[in-house]
Structure formats: C-alpha cells, structure tokens
Amino acid sequence: MAKAIHSMLRVLDLERSVGFYERAFGLKVADRFDFDSFTLVYLRNADADFELELTLNKGRTEPYDLGDGYGHLAFAVDDLQAQHDRMAQAGAAPTPTRELSQGGRPLARFFFVQDPDGYKIEVLQRQGRYQ
C-alpha cells in the first residue's frame, strides 16, 4: 500500500516561507538539505507524518508561474474562527469563511489564504471527513 509522505512547493525566499508556515500552521523544520544549486526544507508538525517540502532554487529571482494546474494545500484546525482571526490580524488576508453542504447536510466550513509565493491554502474546521 502506498503512503503519501510530502508535497513540494518552489519558493523564492526560504526563510520568509518557513516563517509563514510556522506562524500560520505550527509547522517546524524537520530536515534541511543544502546543495550547490538548491536547498530542500521539510516542514511538519506533531499532528501528522505528512510533510511540506519547500524547494529554493538558488539564483532564482522571478516569481514562479503557478499556472492553472495547481489547486491548493489543505489544513484542518480545531477552531476555524480563531485561526481566521489570527491570520487576519497577521495581515495574511484570509477570504471570508464559507460553508459547503450537500443534500442539506453540512460538509465543510473553510476559508482560503495565500502563502508568500501565492500558493493557495484551504483551512477547514476539523469535522467529519476533515480530521
């Protein structure tokens, strides 16, 4: 059986991105590997084995074209409103909180925020299938 272990994002400013993910989601550096032309940093927290890999390609100065293929990362939190308020106060500009239902049954409460490189992140209330 396969196990998902990480997702990778290319970033322009590694320390800015590490700081964002630490402040926003409590992710800490689990490993860092520095090579001649790139650096890999793996972030995780105690809630999951899954890691976020940030890749810095040295010498790159232009923002990456995210294109129309990238969707989003998703994080589940215990208190959606508190997370929204905290991100708004930090200047992260979260979207308004929305609710999604199917057949009259609540499915999800969520909002979106973008990291410093423009990657979209969905933040969901921990409930139902979103644990």
The alpha carbon dihedral of 80, 68, 117, 58 has a sign of positive
pLDDT of residue 38: 95
pLDDT of residue 6: 93
Q: Is the pTM of this model over 0.95?
A: no
Residue 128: pLDDT band with limits 50, 70, 90 = confident
Q: What is the pLDDT of residues 7-21, one digit of tens each?
A: 999 999 999 999 999
**What domains are there in the chain, each with its CATH number?**
1-64 (3.10.180.10), 71-131 (3.10.180.10)
Residue 2: pLDDT band with limits 50, 70, 90 = low
Q: What is the pLDDT of residues 51-104, one digit of tens each?
A: 999 999 999 999 999 888 788 999 999 999 999 999 999 999 999 999 998 888
List the catalytic residues.
122
What CA–CA distances, in Å, run from 69 to 65, 66, 119, 124?
A: 10, 8, 12, 22
